[in-house]
Structure 1
């Protein structure tokens, strides 16, 4: 197993609470209330702004050109991802300015600042362990929600979102992030370090589950 699979196995309860969350299940079934998805989408846009900062921090923490390029690619992918949110929000008459002026939910603050703190206080490997549940996890969720390909989703209400993360472009982003995480681990991994990284990975996964729950808890407007 690569380091990502090892972390998933060591933090299996937290990982399952994230990828098998009821929000994900309802989205896959097409029964997720629009209000829940809309709340999630706006908050996820704000979330991605902070994650873009985390990728910029990864570039700062890097000591090799290859690591800097990996951070650059991650940052570019995050900024591209925000455009999906803008397109989807436009369907409800929400402009980019509307989204960016929305207040951050507590779950958004908790998760993003945790990742930024991991990056500020720790090294590059710790930062990537904190980023991994989001970056790589969304690719796994996308594949799980489109097992027969995006075309088979037909007129599924969340086809565009699922297609973004199940598509080849994002799958490649996640694959590269996974490979880079493994390369970083190969440089400095120890038994003690693995225990520490498992804690980081587990916390980030739990915060991802809290982020889904925030959407489900949204009140219809």
Structure 2
């Protein structure tokens, strides 16, 4: 493996997402290069930390399906409505099922997962996203959502390209390869393109300062989600 990928093949520099990522370098790097991610890549992440993350990530998906349902309501044309509706379907009917299948390999059933309360990091992040969606327009909501979908694609992209990543014998290899897959990378690219579609009528590029604040906070809350797992393992 070579040097970490720049991810520029997915992120057009002049896109709104490209500008947001450039304007929030510290928060973004803290998220995509978090110690949780590094330990996941080299296989040293404590199992307890990963299992706690898996539980909270499932509870997180429940709230994110609601956020994308809100995006359907907020959308202003059929193209965007259909795209957001497709994401709701993908989360509820596919991703959550795949997540449960993955969890079974770690000895976690759906009953085990839903019996857990949401961690504060999960509540803080998901409710922030929903709040931005209720208070703002569809672009505000999308920007708050972007670090999750696109961030995971970049993280996996970086891990697959990093010389520090160990795949052979790594218990987290399946997680890395799932998000590094061409299918998921295409999903991330579609999210970036959909944001460009919606900002065309909402002047998103002219609202950059306020949107950067939203993007920065969402990225910080993503990093806190990783930290939640590490704190549990201490």
Correspondent of 1:170 among 184, 195, 209: 184
Partner of 1:160: 174
**Number of aligned residues:** 217
SS at match of 1:63: coil
Secondary structure of the structure 1 residue equivalent to 2:126? helix
The aligned counterpart of 1:101 is 115
Aligned residue number for residue 211 of structure 2: 197
Aligned equivalent of 1:19, options 24, 32, 40: 32
Measured after TM superposition, the shift of residue 72 of structure 1 is 1.6
What are structure 2's unaligned runs of at least 5 residues? Answer: 1-13
- 1:10 paired with 2:10, answer no
TM-score normalised to the size of structure 2? Answer: 0.87
Q: 1:62 aligns with which of 68, 72, 75?
A: 75
State the distance in 2 between where 1:191 and 1:88 align: 39
How many angstroms does 1:170 deviate by?
A: 1.1
Q: Root-mean-square deviation (CA), in Å?
A: 1.7
Within a 5 Å distance, the mapping from 1:203-218 to structure 2 comes to: 203-218=217-232
Q: Secondary structure at the match of 1:102?
A: coil
Aligned to 1:34: 47
Deviation of 1:192 after TM superposition, in Å, equals 5.6
**Per the alignment, in what secondary structure is the counterpart of residue 218 of structure 1?**
helix
Could you list the per-position Cα deviations for residues 102-127 of structure 1 after superposition, in whole angstroms to 9, with x for gaps in the alignment?
11000000000000111111100000
Listed as ranges, the gaps of 5+ residues in structure 1 are none
Q: Which moved more, 1:3-12 or 1:88-97?
A: 88-97
Q: Give the secondary-structure state (helix, strand or coil) at the position aligned to 1:146.
A: helix
